[in-house]
Structure 1
Amino acid sequence: MNWIEALILGLLQGLTEFLPVSSSGHLELGKALLGVDAENNLAFTVIVHGATVLSTIIVFRKDILSLFKDVFHFQWNESTQYLFKIAISMIPIGIVGVFFKDEVSALFDNNGILLLVGCMLLVTATLLGFTYYAKQKEKEISFKDALIIGLAQTFAILPGISRSGATIATGLLLGNRKADIAKFSFLMVLVPIIGENILCLANGEFTSQGNIEVTPLIVGFFAAFISGLLACSWMIKLVKKGKLIYFAIYCLIIGVIAIFAA
């Protein structure tokens, strides 16, 4: 992988991690177009995911600091309940990550990956389309809602199912406040991504797969970080304005193109 390919894939990761269009699906499409296999270079994957995590932390730094500050009061306050909701939302993806990791990895190693991505993008488009007709409510995220949103996140292991799209759309369909579900969607993914990367490092997978020079890693990191900052902030505004229907149309078009390309 050269630095130009790293730049393109880094931008794709940063933008699509937050926009409801599936980062895994777009990375697979990007690799197919560029003729590179970034998935076998786990170092690059870890680096760009770390970059998007960092961009999320920076965007929500005040919220994160406030949450942890309140938690250390050791009271069953709003912040403590919020963190418990995030913890509950992580249970489904945690189960899949621990017990079905090999099956998930196999999804990315078959020759029909583009067809799978195309079909799942159509599913994402349908889910986002439903939010256009959903009645807008101002309900607070409950513990039950957190679990349901966590289940929606689990389906996003399929390349082409957008994680942010699935979780935000599910929250909106449950009647949660727009601003609340956008923030919850981005915060709930921090621990799973950080945990997965730590496990990769602990198991030596970071250095055991693929060879890549330092320059593409640096370029990919900053591309994903900067585009992630912009996309995260932009997505919050779009959710508040209810503009997800445009992403539904986009996913529909790209999904059809991917199916025909396959």
Structure 2
Amino acid sequence: MSELFLLLKYTFLGFVQGFTEPIPISSSGHLVILRELFNINIHGLSFEILVNFGSLIAVLLVYRKDIIRLVLNGWRYVIQKDVQAKADFHFIVFLVIATIPTGVIGILLEDYISNRLSAAIFVGFTLLITGAALWIIRNLRGRKSDGDLNVKDALIVGLAQSVALIPGISRSGATIVASMLVGMRQDTALRFSFLLYIPVSLGVTILSVEDIIKDPNFSTLAIPYLLAFIATIFATFYSLKWFMHVMKTGNLKYFSYYCFIVGILVILFI
């Protein structure tokens, strides 16, 4: 029975991570809340690394056509100076620029954030911040498409993603809010946000391989980790597909309501 419970626990956590990763309600914040609520202890970083990698795979699958187009057109512009590929080349450059703040701030403050800002009560307040940010941009309709972005836009969105290192501040929410505040159209904001997730998530995964290798619990928890990994892939894939539809209809206010409700409940009762 205990082994079955262990499998169900990790599968459930993987599902929650996967489902909440694409939508603007903070996957890291929800994992903190669940651990506190159900007294779940997860030792080491292997679990977080693997579910993060699972979400990365799902995002790659959803945006595979965009990724292939950007790579091919970026190469065409560099090698052939094809003017028609210029916009996609610049889009790649802006993604690289937006990645820099997160990498620098993550390296400098990761330990502080993990040790000082991961309490459930703190997550309750940061969820309220996420909800307020989503409420502010709920009716915005920008005009900037892929070819209209600039360095300033990329830096602002990159800094917003850095803020999302704090549990309870949604990564997708922060980047989409920043993207729409600088005037991006909803589809451009969504695409920039999740393509920006790829280099950051990939970097975290590569840098954390050693942590998995050295994790003494990895061999005993290999099957639960695998189930969580698979659950994360499927949950992220379908959650992202659903969120893309939500962005088209402009119903971000409902995520704002959700963050307000959960944030208040966490502050009052957990």
TM-score category (smaller protein): over 0.9
Q: Deviations over 1:107-129 (max 9, x none)?
A: 356xxx01100000000000000
- The C-alpha deviation readout for 1:171-230, integer Å capped at 9, x for no partner, is 1122211001101101101111111121111xx211334514221111101110001001
Alpha-carbon contact 1:48-1:220 (below 8 Å) kept:
yes
d(CA) in 2 for partners of 1:237 and 1:17?
16
SS at match of 2:21: helix
**Larger gyration radius, structure 1 or structure 2:** 2
Contact 1:107 1:158 in 2 (8 A): no
* Separation in structure 2 between the aligned mates of residue 230 and residue 69 of structure 1, nearest angstrom: 27
Q: 5+ residue gaps in structure 1? A: none
Partner of 2:252: 244
**Does residue 20 in structure 1 map to residue 29 in structure 2?**
no
- 1:205 has 2:206 as partner: no
For residues 222 and 214 of structure 2, the distance between their equivalents in structure 1, rounded to whole angstroms, comes to 16
Question: Structure 2-normalised TM-score?
Answer: 0.90
Q: Secondary structure at the match of 1:193?
A: helix
Structure 2: distance between partners of 1:50 and 1:27: 16
Contact residue 183 and residue 236 of structure 1 kept, 8 A: no
| SS at structure 1 position matched to 2:138 | helix
Moved over 6 A (4+): none
Deviation of 1:78 after TM superposition, in Å, equals 1.4
**2:124 corresponds to which residue?**
118
Structure 2 letter corresponding to 1:67: L
1:191 to 195, 199, 214: 199
State the 1:105 CA deviation: 2.3
- TM-score, structure 1 normalization: 0.92
Indicate the residue corresponding to 2:59 in structure 1.
56
Alignment of 1:106-185 (within 5 A): 106-107=115-116, 113-134=119-140, 136-140=141-145, 141-185=149-193
Q: SS of 1:90's equivalent?
A: helix
Q: Which runs of 5+ in 2 are unaligned?
A: none
Please tell me whether the aligned partners of residues 143 and 183 of structure 2 are also in contact (alpha carbons under 8 angstroms).
yes
Aligned residue-pair number = 255
Cα displacement (A) at 1:133: 4.2
Q: How does 1:81-96 map to 2 (within 5 A)?
A: 81-96=90-105
Percent same amino acid at aligned positions?
32
